[in-house]
Every structure is written in structure tokens, then in C-alpha cells.
């Protein structure tokens, strides 16, 4: 791992990228840069510091009903350290064409769970409507406490990153978890400009699709609220 930044070294170096984590497993690279974790071809064990997202959720989380019209939400029952991995956005991988078709159906139903995988090109979308985990219930905020990162583990196809959510700051026990559905990262190099998330709105009475969205009022309540989701 000491040679992870060298081409031919550990997984990040072999992909010409930086080692993403510190010794405590907290992400130390800026959003927009990819994370390459060790995989089944590596000789290291499960406790390798370059195996974080693949270990899954490590915090106690719960689903609750919000009292301000945002539907269901997710809160943590434990304190979460800044830059720690919290959860992966999980769902069914479908083509963008299928996402467009489903998005129109979801619009009529008033809910959708589509997340475009557009790290390098917009070919695939994650749909968490039928298959997923607790991330299905995470609400939007214009001042979120979670940040999206693209992660590659067993697969090096840049069209198919895994979507990992890391804490942007220390999060108190009992606090709601949120991320920005209309996230844009600051460019740090050519790679980072590829990582703007297109999220088909989650939950509640919100409608949307990967391509066509109306002006949806934001109810996040943040001081920096943009007033509209898209």
C-alpha cells in the first residue's frame, strides 16, 4: 500500500489514481476523483485498509416518517465521523433508455428512484424502486451531510461505478442523513468533471425522470436552500 500511487502497485496505483483512505478508513480524496478498492484478485485480507465500501454499512441506521411532508427519511442511531463511509446507493442497473421509460411511469405515480451512472458517459442508471437498501429512503438537502463518490471494486468498467455515500462532516446520533440530488463537484482535473450526479427524485410526492423534470419545490429547510430541487 505504501506504493499505491505508483503504476503497477496496489489497485489505486494500477489505475493511476491516489489511495483514497487514511488508516481509519476515512476518505481523503476530493469528490469527483474515483476510488479503486482491492478486490478478489488481491492477496490482502478482509481487514485491508483499501476495503471499505465492500464491507457494507457499519452504522446503526433507521427509517422514520418525516413531519414536514418529505415522506420517509433515514437517521443514524450512532455518531458518524467526518469522511466515513455510510452506505451505498443500491438498486437495479438498467439502460438509460429503460430509465427514460420507467421515469415516465414513475412520474405518473409521483415517486421515482433513478440515479444516472454518468461518470464517463450516460449509458446506465440505478433504479432503487424494486431492489435496493436503506438508501432508497434518504432525502435530499441543499446542505447535505453525505457526499457521493464513484467506487470501483470487482469491476473496472467506468460506465458502471458503485455509488458510495460518505459523511461530509461529523453527524450526531439521531440526525437525519441527506445528500444533494442535484450535486455538482468542483473540477479538480479532467476526471472530476465527469462526476455530476443526475438523480431522479426520491420518495414522497416528488416526480421526475433522468431526462425530463419539472420545477419541483424543495422542502429541505436548509438556510442555503435553492427553493427548487431541479
Active-site amino acid positions: 89, 181
Assess contact for 206 and 104: CB atoms under 8 A.
Answer: no
Nearest-5° Cα angle at 90, 87 to 91: 165
62 is in an annotated binding site: no
The neighbouring-strand residues paired with 88 are 164
Measured CA to CA, the distance from residue 139 to residue 78 in angstroms comes to 18
Residue 70 annotated in ligand binding: yes
| 3-state SS, residue 179 | strand
The response to whether 130 counts as a known ligand-binding position is no
Instruction: Determine if residue 119 is labeled as part of a ligand binding site.
Output: no
Q: Is 21 annotated as a binding residue?
A: no
CB 185 within 8 A of CB 32: yes
Could you report how far apart the first and last alpha carbons of the chain are, in Å? 41
**Whole-angstrom Cα distance, residue 49 to residue 32?**
21
Annotated binding residue 140: yes
Question: Taking the CB of residue 227, how many other CB atoms lie within 10 A of it?
Answer: 10
Cα separation, 85 vs 202, whole angstroms: 21
**CA gap 62, 84 in Å, rounded:** 18
Determine whether the annotation assigns residue 162 to a binding site.
Answer: no
Ligand-binding site membership of 155 (annotated): no
Asked whether the beta carbons of 98 and 128 are under 8 A apart, the reply is no
Is 82 flagged in the annotation as binding?
no
- Binding site residues for S-adenosyl-L-methionine, as ranges? 70-72, 139-140, 181, 219
- Binding site residues, as ranges? 10-11, 38, 42, 44, 48, 70-72, 139-140, 142, 181, 218-220, 225
Amino acid at each position: 500500500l505504501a506504493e499505491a500511487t505508483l503504476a503497477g502497485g496496489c489497485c489505486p496505483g494500477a489505475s493511476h489514481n491516489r489511495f483514497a483512505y487514511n488508516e481509519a478508513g476515512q476518505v481523503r480524496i476530493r469528490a469527483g476523483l474515483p476510488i479503486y478498492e482491492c478486490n478478489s484478485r488481491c492477496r490482502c485480507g478482509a481487514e485491508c485498509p483499501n476495503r471499505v465500501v465492500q464491507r457494507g454499512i457499519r452504522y446503526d441506521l433507521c427509517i422514520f416518517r418525516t413531519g414536514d411532508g418529505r415522506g420517509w427519511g433515514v437517521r443514524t442511531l450512532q455518531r458518524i465521523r467526518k469522511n466515513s463511509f455510510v452506505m451505498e446507493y443500491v438498486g437495479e442497473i438498467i439502460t438509460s433508455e429503460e430509465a427514460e421509460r420507467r421515469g415516465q411511469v414513475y412520474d405518473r405515480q409521483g415517486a421515482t428512484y433513478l440515479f444516472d451512472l454518468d461518470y464517463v458517459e450516460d449509458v446506465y442508471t440505478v433504479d432503487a424502486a424494486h431492489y435496493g437498501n436503506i438508501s432508497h429512503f434518504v432525502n435530499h438537502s441543499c446542505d447535505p451531510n453525505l457526499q457521493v463518490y464513484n467506487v470501483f471494486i470487482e469491476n473496472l468498467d467506468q460506465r458502471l461505478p458503485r455509488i458510495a455515500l460518505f459523511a461530509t462532516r461529523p453527524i450526531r446520533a439521531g440526525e437525519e442523513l441527506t445528500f444533494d440530488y442535484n450535486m455538482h463537484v468542483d473540477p479538480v482535473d479532467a476526471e472530476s468533471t465527469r462526476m455530476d450526479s443526475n438523480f431522479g427524485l426520491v420518495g414522497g410526492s416528488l416526480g421526475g425522470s433522468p431526462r425530463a423534470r419539472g420545477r419541483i419545490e424543495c422542502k429541505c429547510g436548509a438556510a442555503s436552500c435553492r427553493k427548487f430541487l431541479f
